[in-house]
Homo-oligomer: A and B are copies of this chain.
Amino acid sequence: MRPWEDKIRKVTPYVPGEQPKIKDIIKLNTNENPYPPAPGVAKKLANLDVNAFTKYPDPNVSDLVNAIASFYGLDASQVFVGVGSDDVIAQSFMTFFNSDKPIMFPDITYSFYDVWAKLFNIPYETKPLNDSFEICASDYYGENGGIIFPNPNAPTGVAVSLSFIEDILKHNKDVIVIIDEAYVDFGTKSAMSLINHYDNLLVVQTFSKSRSAAGLRIGYACGNPELIAALNAVKQSYNSYTMNYPSIVLGVEIVNDRPYFEKCCKQVVDTREKTKEALSELGFTFPDSKTNFIFATHPKYDAKEIFEYLRNNNIIVRHFNAPRIDNYLRISIGTDAQMNRLIDVIKEYISKKKA
């Protein structure tokens, strides 16, 4: 052992989905959007001022904060921006989850929550989803240090209603409740409308899914101005300038193009519904996804085996080697052509198994 080893933090990091460098692969493993970001982005990019790169960007990210606030009809004091929603949620854990009591989240959910809790030494308890992969509100009525869950949940794709969220908020007025809405734009009602009614609510969203900009790293949180000020104080105690100049300029362009955003979301939803039908016909079952992925299982075939068969045919989906979900595949929604190819390869797999 090296003499300094006992001073080093030991952690088990989150394992992100593969970002393969192979060309012509159909990548359906990290829930990216198959469509490019708003058309204005290319023009803004061409006009970016290289001389501005020498200067630090605006530490308050005002242009982007204002654009997001305006999109939701909120005040700028209700919006916080970070380097992807992971950055926003990590900072939220640090800012809001300071209690001896455990924070609570579902047993099957975004697999970064327990990683952050461990990183920041936050006690936590997981509450099991029921057999239909639904969150049970009453599990979250007891004493706790804070609550977080995605709506819709990941990797299940199952959504809850706003009245469900209000019920949880009312039972937990002494802690912060974070709703992680990474996938909300694909057919779920956002809790943004509850922000002015519940001062303990923080709603987190991202540009990585519905806004086609995972490569720019932009996420945001909305909540009452006191929560946002507390987040900004922690952020300014960590790194004053997190959002770089290109992300600020291009991010504004993306959020300002509402019609393109809505068109893309609708296209993804249409493709998802068609894919659900095709998967059903092949015997797959899945919770009713309101996201840009489908969490599917087959009563006859092994998920890991299908995963590998797809991989060998240049299609990557996600398989989690975790209790209760290890016979499921999480399949991101790509273009119609990509999903048709996926279905064809699965048909091929099934016919070979039957042969």
Within A173-216, the residues touching B (CB, 8 Å) are 173-176, 199-200, 208, 212-216
Q: With A35-B54, A53-B41, A119-B237 in contact, do A175 and B4 touch (Cβ < 8 Å)?
A: yes
Q: Which residue of B lies closest to A146 (CB)?
A: B7
Q: Which residues of chain B are within 8 angstroms of A242 by Cβ–Cβ distance?
A: 83-84, 87, 217
Chain B residues closer than 8 Å to A95, beta-carbon distance: 8-9
**A173 / chain B contacts, CB cutoff of 8 Å:** 3-4
Give A59 to B58 CA distance when docked, in angstroms. 25
In the complex this chain forms, how many copies of it are found? 2
294-311 of chain A: CB within 8 A of chain B: none
Q: Which residues of B contact A52 (CB under 8 A)?
A: 215
Identify the stretch in A67-75, A243-251, A271-279, A320-328 within 8 Å (CB) of chain B at 4 or more residues.
Answer: A243-251
Q: Are B246 and A216 neighbours in the complex by a CB distance under 8 Å?
A: yes
Q: Least Cβ distance of A217 to chain B in Å?
A: 4
Chain B nearest CB from A284 CB (Å) reads: 26
Taking CB atoms, residues of chain B closer than 8 Å to A235 are 13
Docked pose: A50 CA to B216 CA in angstroms: 10
Q: Are B56 and A32 in contact (CB under 8 A)?
A: yes
Are A36 and B13 closer than 8 Å at their CB atoms? no
> Which of A127-135, A148-156, A226-234, A346-354 binds B?
A226-234
Q: Is the CB of A238 within 8 A of B55?
A: no
Question: Is the CB of A102 closer than 8 A to any CB of chain B?
Answer: no
Chain A, interface residues (CB within 8 Å), range: 35 or more
A57 in contact (CB, < 8 A):
yes
- Is A46 part of the contact surface with B, judged by Cβ < 8 Å? yes
Q: How far apart are the CA atoms of A247 and B216 in the complex, in Å?
A: 9
Evaluate whether A239 and B56 lie within 8 angstroms (CB atoms) in the complex, with A174-B4, A216-B246, A234-B9 already known: no
Beyond A32-B55, A234-B9, A237-B11, whether A244 also contacts B216 by CB under 8 A is: yes
Quick check: is A252 within 8 A (CB to CB) of the other chain? no
Q: Counting CB contacts under 8 A, is A106 at the interface?
A: no
Whether B37 and A119, one on each chain, are in contact in the complex, defined by CB atoms closer than 8 angstroms, is no
Distance in angstroms from A11 CB to nearest chain B CB is: 4
Q: Which single residue of chain B is at the shortest CB-CB distance from A58?
A: B19
Tell yes or no: A162 within 8 A of B by CB. Answer: no
How far is B104's CA from A148's CA once the two chains are assembled, in angstroms?
A: 37
Contacts of A217 in B (CB 8 A): 57, 241-244
A45 at the interface (CB under 8 A from B): yes
A12-B237, A238-B116 given as contacts; is B42 within 8 A of A55 (CB)? no
Q: What are 13 A-to-B residue pairs whose CB atoms are below 8 Å?
A: A7-B174, A9-B95, A9-B230, A13-B233, A19-B57, A37-B54, A41-B53, A45-B48, A52-B215, A57-B217, A86-B239, A94-B119, A215-B244
* A-B residue pairs, 7 tightest by C-beta: A13-B236, A215-B245, A3-B174, A16-B240, A53-B215, A217-B244, A246-B246
